[in-house]
Amino acid sequence: MTAQPDHETRGDLFAPACPTRQLLERIGTKWTSMAIKVLAEAAPREVRFADLRRRMPGVSQKMLSVTLRSLVRDGLVVRRVEPTVPPHVHYRLTELGLSLEIPLAAVRAWAEEHMAKIARTNAIHDTRASGLSRFGGAAETHRRDEEEQAAEGGVSGQGDQ
């Protein structure tokens, strides 16, 4: 008889086979964060699929369906279908799903607060990278990276010693 995995133990993100990695991949998407936020604002009430989609600009019907299906499977959201023509589908957060709103809200707030700085850093990096690839290639890029790290106190600039 094969031993069953213990699903009640705490995960370990750094263990290669740990399902925590897959869970973080699912809950770390922008669409999951937005869906959790909309549903949390409505809690404990339900939100219809069409209302969710309206409140999540840019999400396609398919992507919202995939996101909600995943949240239902994980036990974070409950789905209820009214047997009408066409059927009305409603969603609400479970207690577990509601517990995810606080950490996701913190990540959203951090992203919104730091977005402009990160965009500037990306633009600087992309400009440097495109200039370096035209004028010196990988060797020049490596040399400049070492110079930047040395200036920041991270590397001696003399290579591995």
Residue 3 has a pLDDT of 46
Return the amino acid letter for 28.
G
pLDDT tens across 106-156, in order? 999 999 999 999 999 999 998 888 876 555 555 566 666 676 666 666 544
Residue 159 has a pLDDT of 44
Mean pLDDT of 35-58: 97
Give percent of the chain above pLDDT 90: 66
Residue 158 has a pLDDT of 46
Residue 161 has a pLDDT of 40
Return the amino acid letter for 98.
L
Compute the mean pLDDT over every residue in the chain, rounded to the nearest whole number. Answer: 85
pLDDT tens across 2-17, in order? 444 555 788 898 999 9
Q: Which two tokens stand for residue 105?
A: 């809200």
Mean pLDDT of 49-60: 97
Domain ranges of the chain: 20-151
pTM of the model: 0.72
Residue 93 in this model has a pLDDT that exceeds 90:
yes
Mean pLDDT of 42-67: 97
Residue 145 has a pLDDT of 67
**Start-to-end CA span in the chain (Å):** 53
The secondary element (H helix, E strand) that includes residue 91 is strand 88-93
Residue 157 has a pLDDT of 43
For the chain, the maximum distance between any two Cα atoms, rounded to a whole number of angstroms, is 73
Q: Is the CATH number of domain 20-151 3.40.50.720? A: no
